[in-house]
């Protein structure tokens, strides 16, 4: 039984006309595959329900939140099934409790633990197209759970895993993954194939196609994901394992951030334990520290410590540093006018000199590098926000992503 | 364990502010009772979902319809539970499948067969307030069913039955049952107590407070129903068994219709089987014939046959009569300008002369009676539509309903 899992995001099912279009797309796969469909709620529905909950209580119950918001996917899956039936197919909606899809009991942010395959396999064998409500699950005690925002992707990946699907197609409102944000840079090109690892770096650095947690699930279970648009008939981006990719480019994509802020503590004592005394209270207060650099001490006594955080954590960070008497420094500087630009590609593992080419390219454009951080397949630099466009253009050209 | 079932209609939970008000009302009962709450969907939600289904297909699947529209009650019950939790009460939403409430598998129009009491009783004993989604059930195969429009009343009555509730309170947007339609007649008075039988006659004759099927269920199970408004702090109308009522009025209420039509076949053969030859094809085509009168034959050969139907069945009826060659008549007359006015009251069983008083009252106002029909506790007459107001006023006064 060759199975494909098709997942439709909120914008793909945002109107009645779009749902009709989705039914047409599904019917095309039916010729070659046993099709399992997963759907999000119609766009805006979930936000509307969340806003209701906030008006009821500023501390709305997590359990009831799950009952409330899961209703959105229920509506979408019944409408898709209804449309397929109208077109003469055998179809029905499946809610998480009807399968069941079992999660842990962490309401609002549950993880899928188990999917009972029996009923769905039986249904597929009769020629039916199951339309499964994404984002929702059932706890072992029979309560409704949801698996966090963007959770329909996770539903799709887990269904693909449990049913050993040949492919998982994520239909969304973008054509695929691009070399860089196409809204900001017109020369951005669609990537045909990308490895899980590269996609993870792209996702966590700002390419909002899929949640990192879903890509990680796909990577662990070796599930081929195709991201494509439900509105245009074009092939999308295949996210797969490295060895499947024949790629002659060193760099696959470039990402940039908008919401970083830089913190510098000037004149910190240069002795063991100082960095820990700063980062421990931040971590305790859930402030995520990203890039860190400590200057070489000039006099052996004092040094400067610079790190980046998310902009929204700025005031919290300021408070923590100022109120903590164990942290001594001469001056505290905050800078919101920064952006992190990263080049990503598995090709750099086997290609020497990539770091140099990046730095040289930026130097040629007189762009100053403030902080550097690297991983096996990624090089990130912090630069002045006003230079993003210039940097993007130069790097995109240097690494031949324009072609 | 003294149990009360509280049911809230769509208008009672129509906005966030109204839901907060409902939570306040519920909390008042908590002091005296174990409270079971049943809720409809927020007003307009169900109609909005139905309109979506119609845009998807002019023949939308019954099964998927149930999945679709039942989502409305899911939203409402989670919001009420969320509000009660916010106020410090122990509460949770219960969907039909979680209890379960078992129905037959007649989708869109299912009947409740069984309610499993175990989980709810256990929950009540811990001090919790269960907020149960009305209108929905689960078939024995685990599919979602709904019990027809207005079905949340039926859910409430059946819950009251299975849990042996002391009372079932139906909260709605009217203050109770009135002697006649208060929108049409300003002197209408709220009825304090009314028997099931009278209420059934009132309901089927146009008082839209509750569906007749729910009143019948309450009657069969001897459940005391209180109909009241969730918006004003006033006692409502108690619907109970006749022997509970100390009522010194002969007539309890007067109802009138707007959507009747009169059909007269002139010059029908006066012989056995003629009426059957007319009513059989009508019944076969689901045309509901209400009042019937056959004039005394003047010459022993021919007679006139008059009956009333719903206005929307007029063209269907015309077609059936004209196409049926077994029906012979000289002339066919339709009249849409009629209204049926009825006086209802268990008091008329023991009080002679009520019929005479009704006819005399109408005669005094020079209102012509076209057709008459009576039951044990009801007298209905068909009159010219333009005389409704005059007739209502006169009868309301004659039977002392103004006081």
Tens of pLDDT, residues B170-192? 999 889 999 998 888 889 999 99
**pLDDT of amino acid B247:** 67
Residue B149 has pLDDT above 70, yes or no: no
Helix count (H) and strand count (E) of chain A?
12, 20
Q: What residues in A contact B82, CB-CB < 8 Å?
A: 53, 56-57, 60-61, 64-65, 68
Q: Of A35-49, A183-197, B304-318, B346-360, where does the model show the most confidence?
A: A35-49
Q: Min CA distance, B143 vs chain A (Å)? A: 8
| Residues of B whose CB is below 8 A from A65 | 78, 82
Of B16, B56, B70, the CB nearest to A83: B56
**Minimal C-alpha gap between B157 and chain A (Å):** 24
Mind telling me how many Å the CA of A176 is from chain B's nearest CA? 28
| B15 interfaces chain A, CB cutoff of 8 Å | no
Closest partner CB to A68 (pick from B57, B67, B79): B79
Based on C-alpha coordinates, what's the Rg of chain B?
24
Q: Which position has the higher pLDDT, A146 or A212?
A: A146
What was the pLDDT predicted at A206? 58
Q: Which residues in chain B are contacts of A77 at CB distance < 8 A?
A: 67
**Alpha helices by DSSP H, B225-309:** 274-284
Q: Is residue B192 part of a domain?
A: no
Q: In this structure, is residue B196 part of a structural domain? A: no
- Domain membership of residue A94 (yes or no) is yes
For residue A397, pLDDT beyond 70? yes
pLDDT digits (tens, 9 = 90+) for A60-101: 999 999 999 999 999 999 999 999 999 999 999 999 999 999
Clarify whether residues A328 and A344 are in a common domain: no
Q: Are residues B290 and B152 in the same domain?
A: no
φ, ψ dihedrals at A276, nearest 5°: -60, -40
CATH number at residue A117: 3.40.1160.10
The shortest C-alpha distance from B59 to chain A (Å) reads 7
The partner residue sitting opposite B52, judged by closest CB among A16, A49, A71, is: A16
Classify residue B92: in a domain, yes or no: yes
**What is the count of structural domains for chain B?**
3
pLDDT at A272 over 80: no
**Are B325 and B348 in the same domain?**
no
Q: Count of A–B CB contacts within 8 Å?
A: 111
Contact A3, A163 (CB under 8 A): yes
pLDDT of A187 above 80 = yes
pLDDT tens across A282-312, in order?
998 889 999 998 877 767 778 889 999 999 9
Is B97 an interface residue toward A (CB < 8 Å)? yes
**Are B132 and B270 within one domain?**
no
DSSP E strand stretches across A75-117? 91-94, 101-103, 112-115
Check whether residue B85 and residue B146 sit in a common domain. Answer: yes
Instruction: Write down the pLDDT at residue A46.
Output: 94
The boundaries of the domain holding residue A394 are 339-398
Q: Is B95 in Cβ contact with A67 (below 8 Å)? A: yes
CATH code of residue A364 = 3.30.2130.10
Q: Is B290 on the interface with A (CB under 8 A)?
A: no
The answer to whether the Cβ–Cβ distance between B82 and A97 falls below 8 Å is no
Q: Are B214 and B153 in contact (CB under 8 A)?
A: yes
Q: Which residue has the higher pLDDT, B130 or B206?
A: B130
In a domain, B331, yes or no: yes
Chain A from 119 to 148: CB within 8 A of any B CB = 142-144
Residue in chain A nearest B142 by alpha carbon: A98
User: Nearest residue on chain B to A48, judged by CA atoms?
Assistant: B75
Are residues A291 and A348 both part of a single domain? no
CA atoms within 13 A on the CB side of A283: 7
Query: For A93, which residue in chain B has the nearest alpha carbon?
Result: B64
The verdict on B62 touching A (C-beta cutoff 8 Å) is no
Query: Taking a contact as any Cβ pair under 8 Å apart, which residues of chain B between 155 and 174 contact chain A?
Result: none
B332 and B306 Cβ atoms separated by less than 8 Å: no
Question: Would you call A301 helix, strand, or coil by DSSP?
Answer: coil
**Chain B residues in contact with A72 (beta carbon < 8 A):** 71
> Is pLDDT larger for residue A257 or for residue B271?
A257
Give the end of a domain, one of A294, A313, A335. A335
**Nearest beta carbon to residue A67 from set B64, B68, B78:** B78
Mean pLDDT of A227-236: 93
Task: Report the DSSP pairing between strands A3-8 and A167-172.
Answer: parallel
Mean pLDDT calculated for residue range A317-341: 90
Query: pLDDT (tens digit, 9 = 90+) per residue, B345-401?
Result: 988 888 888 999 999 999 999 999 999 998 889 999 999 999 999 999 999 999 999
Using a CB–CB cutoff of 8 Å, tell me whether B50 touches chain A. no
Scanning A92-223, the segments in alpha helix (DSSP H) are 118-125, 151-162, 196-204, 212-220
Q: Three-state SS for B212?
A: helix
A60 neighbourhood in chain B, CB within 8 Å: 82, 86
Higher pLDDT, B273 or A358: A358
Residues of chain A found within 8 Å of residue B78, distances taken between Cβ atoms: 64-65, 67-68, 71
Give the mean pLDDT of chain B.
92
Angle at B142 between CA B137 and CA B144, to 5 degrees: 40
- Residue B20 CA: distances (Å) to CA of A33, A71, B12, B236: 49, 21, 10, 21
Q: Is the pLDDT of residue A326 over 80?
A: no
Q: How confident is the model at residue A182 (pLDDT cuts 50, 70, 90)?
A: confident
pLDDT of residue A205: 63
Nearest chain A Cα to B99, which residue?
Answer: A142
- Burial string for B188-206 (b: 16+ CB within 10 Å, else e) reads bebbebbbbbbbbbbbebb
pLDDT of B197-240, one tens digit each?
Answer: 999 888 766 567 888 888 999 999 999 999 999 999 999 999 99
Q: Is A318's Cβ below 8 Å from some Cβ in B?
A: no
**Nearest CA-CA distance, residue A191 and chain B, Å:** 35
Q: Do B86 and A60 touch (CB under 8 A)?
A: yes
Among the listed residues A73, A62, A147, the one whose alpha carbon sits nearest the alpha carbon of residue A113: A147
Q: Is there a single domain that holds both residue A34 and residue A89?
A: yes
Q: Provide the mean pLDDT of chain A.
A: 92
CB atoms A74 and B77 under 8 Å: no
B18 touches chain A (CB under 8 A): no
CA atoms of B100 and B144, how far apart (whole Å) = 11
Residues of B in contact with A82 (CB under 8 A): 53, 56-57, 60-61, 64-65, 68
Higher pLDDT: A343 or B325? It is A343
Instruction: Identify whether residues A154 and A68 lie together within a single domain.
Output: yes
Q: Which residue of A has its CA nearest to B131?
A: A64
- Of the partner residues A61, A78, A142, the one whose CB lies closest to the CB of residue B64: A78
In chain A, the percentage of residues whose pLDDT exceeds 70 is 98
Instruction: Tell me the two tokens of residue B395.
Output: 């009868």
- Is B266 touching A (CB cutoff 8 A)? no
- Of B274, B263, B40, the closest CA to residue B172 belongs to B40
Contact A71 B67 (CB under 8 A): no
Read off the pLDDT of each residue in A197-226 and give the average, rounded to a whole number.
Answer: 85
pLDDT digits (tens, 9 = 90+) for B285-328: 889 999 998 877 767 788 889 999 999 999 999 999 988 877 88
Q: How far is B45 from chain A (nearest CA, A)?
A: 12
Q: Is the pLDDT of residue B19 over 70?
A: yes
- Give percent of chain A with pLDDT exceeding 90: 74
Last residue of a domain, one of B335, B351, B384: B335
pLDDT value at position A258?
87
Of A60, A82, A92, the CB nearest to B82: A60
- Same domain? For A38 and A59 the reply is yes
Q: Phi and psi of B359, rounded to 5°?
A: -65, -40
Q: Are A216 and A240 in contact (CB under 8 A)?
A: no
In-domain check, residue A189: no
Answer whether A210 touches B (CB < 8 Å): no
Of the candidates B219, B83, B144, the one whose C-alpha atom is nearest the C-alpha of residue A133 is: B144
Please provide the size of chain A in residues.
403
In a domain, B23, yes or no: yes
Cβ contact A82–B74 (<8 Å): no
Contact B129, B34 (CB under 8 A): no
The last residue of a domain, from among A173, A205, A230: A173
Cross-sheet strand order for the sheet of A378-384: A253-256, A338-344, A378-384, A371-375
**Model confidence, pTM:** 0.86
A61 touches chain B (CB under 8 A): yes
| pLDDT over 90 (residue B128) | yes
Least confident stretch, A264-273, B309-318, B326-335? A264-273
**Pairwise CB contact (< 8 Å): B75 & A52:** yes
All residues of chain B having their beta carbon less than 8 Å from the beta carbon of residue A86 are: 56-57, 59-61
Most distant CA pair in chain B: distance in Å? 81
Is residue B285 situated within a structural domain? yes
Specify the pLDDT at position A137: 98
Pair A360, A267 in one domain: no
Give the pLDDT score at B204.
67
Question: Residues of B with CB below 8 A from A79's CB?
Answer: 52-53, 56, 64, 68
Mean pLDDT for A214-222 is 91
DSSP symbols for A153-173 = HHHHHHHHHHTT-SEEEEEES
Q: Are residues A324 and A394 in the same domain?
A: no
Q: What pLDDT was estimated at residue A160? A: 97
Instruction: Find the CATH number of the domain harbouring A321.
Output: 3.30.70.260
Clarify whether residues B276 and B343 are in a common domain: no
């Amino acid at each position: 039984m060759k199975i494909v899992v098709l997942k439709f995001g909120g914008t793909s099912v945002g109107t009645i006309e779009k749902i009709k279009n989705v039914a047409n797309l599904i019917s095309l796969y039916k010729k070659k595959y046993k099709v399992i469909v997963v759907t999000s709620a119609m766009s805006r529905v979930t936000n509307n329900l969340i806003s209701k909950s906030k008006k009821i209580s500023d501390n709305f119950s997590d359990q009831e939140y799950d009952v409330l918001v899961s209703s959105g996917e229920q509506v979408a899956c019944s409408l898709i099934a209804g449309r397929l039936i109208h077109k003469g197919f055998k179809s029905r909606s499946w809610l998480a409790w009807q399968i069941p899809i079992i999660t842990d009991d962490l309401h609002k942010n549950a993880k899928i633990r188990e999917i009972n395959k029996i009923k769905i396999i039986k249904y597929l064998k009769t020629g039916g197209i199951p339309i499964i409500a994404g984002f929702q699950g059932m706890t072992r005690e029979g309560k409704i759970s949801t698996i966090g925002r963007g959770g329909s992707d996770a539903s799709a990946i887990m269904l693909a895993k449990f049913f050993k699907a040949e492919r998982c197609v994520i239909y969304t409102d973008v054509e695929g993954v691009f070399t860089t944000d196409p809204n900001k840079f017109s020369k951005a090109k669609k990537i045909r194939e990308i490895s899980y690892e590269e996609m993870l770096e792209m996702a966590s650095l700002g390419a909002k196609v899929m949640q990192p947690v879903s890509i990680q699930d796909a990577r662990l279970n070796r599930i081929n994901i195709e991201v494509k648009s439900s509105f245009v008939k074009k092939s999308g981006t295949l996210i797969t394992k490295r060895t499947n990719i024949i790629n002659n480019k060193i760099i696959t994509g470039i990402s940039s951030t908008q919401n970083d802020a830089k913190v510098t503590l000037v004149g910190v004592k240069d002795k063991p334990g100082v960095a820990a005394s700063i980062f421990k209270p931040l971590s305790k207060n859930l402030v995520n520290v990203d890039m860190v650099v400590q200057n070489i001490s000039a006099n052996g006594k004092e040094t400067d410590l610079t790190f980046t955080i998310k902009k929204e954590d700025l005031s919290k960070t300021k408070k923590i540093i100022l109120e903590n008497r164990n942290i001594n420094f001469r001056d505290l500087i905050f800078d919101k006018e920064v952006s992190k630009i990263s080049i990503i590609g598995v090709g750099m593992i086997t290609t020497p000199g990539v770091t140099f080419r990046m730095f040289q390219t930026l130097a040629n454009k007189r762009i100053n590098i403030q902080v550097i951080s690297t991983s096996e397949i990624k090089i990130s630099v912090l630069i002045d926000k006003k230079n993003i466009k210039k940097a993007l253009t130069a790097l995109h050209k240097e690494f031949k992503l324009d072609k």
